[in-house]
Chains A and B, each alone.
Chain A
Amino acid sequence: MSGLAVRIIPCLDFKDGRVVKGVKFENLVDSGDPLERARIYEEQGADELTFLDISATVEGRKTMAKEVARIRRGIAIPITVGGGIATLDDAARLLDSGADRVSANSAAVRNPAIIGDIASQFGVQCAVVAIDAARNTAMPSGYEVKIAAGAVPTGLDAVAWAKEAASRGAGEILLTSIDRDGTSLGYECTLLGLVARAVGIPVVASGGASKPEHFLEGYRSGASALLAAGIFHRGEVSISEIKHYLAKNNVEVRL
């Protein structure tokens, strides 16, 4: 036993400072005030919150930083922010605003040195690399990395890229299955297992979880943390329900 509890992480997608949630990265729907949401999740037992900024404009990103600052003052659990982080300045701005960790996705693929830069400047625990992966039988692992919100294939093997990210100083991998995202079919456990075994850092499972059983599967596949969005926003499953289910199955959770 590691002693460490598996983390349950609600994810909030932001556009221009507002919370939205997409299905397969499309059809965005607005679902409420972020601070109010964040407080509800903290009370329900969320172990951490992840925010993804999908704003496409400089203005939108500034609004995001202000929102992060407001939420930071209102809650006392860790916050990870991702989306549009391309430079050390982008990372510094969000960390100054109150993020505890930042995640780089497309930018890390385009410029892998950013991973080491964030790690050496702010510590490895700050440097999360987000990987969006889709099935592709032409890849050695069977999964390919896609960037630009899943729109652009990179030709990179997902497991090989995760290993490289870890060796460059990433402190955690946030692994989203594009095939499963928004489908309610559960995490892509094969992908999770391959990545978790390949890297010596924590892996966060993302994409597809809709019931407590899916969270247990994700944990058993090697994930250190389990992320979901829509099911929490819509109130379909509560964090406490998931944690009790995991505890009943002898998984260490913070209750």
Chain B
Amino acid sequence: MSERPTLVIVETGVANLASVRALAERLGMEPVVSAVPEEVIRAQAVILPGVGAFGPAMQKLRKNGLNDAIRDRVAAGLATAGICLGMQLFFERSEESEGMDGLGIFRGKVRRLEGGLPLPQLGWNRLEPGAGSRALQPGWVYFANSYGLAVVAGASQEIRENEIPGAPGFDSITTATTTYGSPFVSALEAWRGDRPSVLLCQFHPELSGPFGTQLFARWLDMNGARRPL
């Protein structure tokens, strides 16, 4: 029986989770892939990973009651992260699956990336955290996405300033941007009290070399979710 703190990777259907598991291992956490709401609520930390399309992933979350489990965790201020599609699910809607509501924890609609460049965006790009970011730091990160948040100007501000009625509130939200033809929101940290309880990454921290591992180590430690090694 392992005594390591558990990091639950939410099962959203067909997903390649080996890389996220490897990230958890590098962080000294016990990776547990689960679609059980109680396990998702109980874990020291949770990652909502990202593979597949917005609509089917949301359907899967709803079917298993995982949408409520994730919202409850976030409302309780527990360490919860989203990666790639997993980040997009935290918002209200996506152009990829019109008519399907997201988790609706943050304001905004996910859209196909603009700028006329090859899609998917595949490779390393710069993460540029906005003022006040503490978990997020500048560096190179690995992307594999055709959709993203808010190519539209003012979206970062909307995320920060407009709370959704009934959604878990935050004391502060900061975003990071990345430019691929035009800028999009590439990450977000949302604080409750003295903890950045929610971390969302449009990039893949599990594939971003030591930078990605250090980002998650920092975030887990700021949340007290990882015992000292």
Residues of A in contact with B (beta carbons under 8 Å apart): 1-7, 42, 47-48, 69, 72-73, 76-78, 95-100, 121-126, 171-172, 199-202, 224-225, 254
Contact = CB atoms under 8 A, between A and B. Distances in A.
Given A2-B117, A2-B180, A72-B19, A77 B123 contact: no
Please provide the 9 A-B residue pairs with the shortest distance between their CB atoms, ordered closest to farther: A98-B18, A125-B144, A3-B179, A95-B16, A254-B140, A254-B124, A5-B124, A78-B207, A125-B120
Given A98-B18, A125-B146, 4 more contacts: A5-B123, A72-B19, A122-B51, A201-B118
B212 interface: yes
Contacts of B25: 73
A20 to B, nearest CB: 24
B94 to A, nearest CB: 14
A126 B122 contact: no
Contacts of B115: 2
Nearest to B211: A76
Q: Is the interface of B mostly helix, strand, loop or mixed?
A: mixed
Contacts of A1: 179
Contact of B123 (A42, A100, A126, A225): A225
Contacts of A42: 209
A233 B181 CA distance: 35
A126 B23 contact: no
15 contacts: A3-B125, A3-B178, A3-B181, A76-B26, A76-B207, A77-B209, A78-B142, A96-B16, A98-B19, A121-B14, A123-B144, A125-B145, A126-B16, A224-B118, A254-B140
Contacts of A73: 22, 25
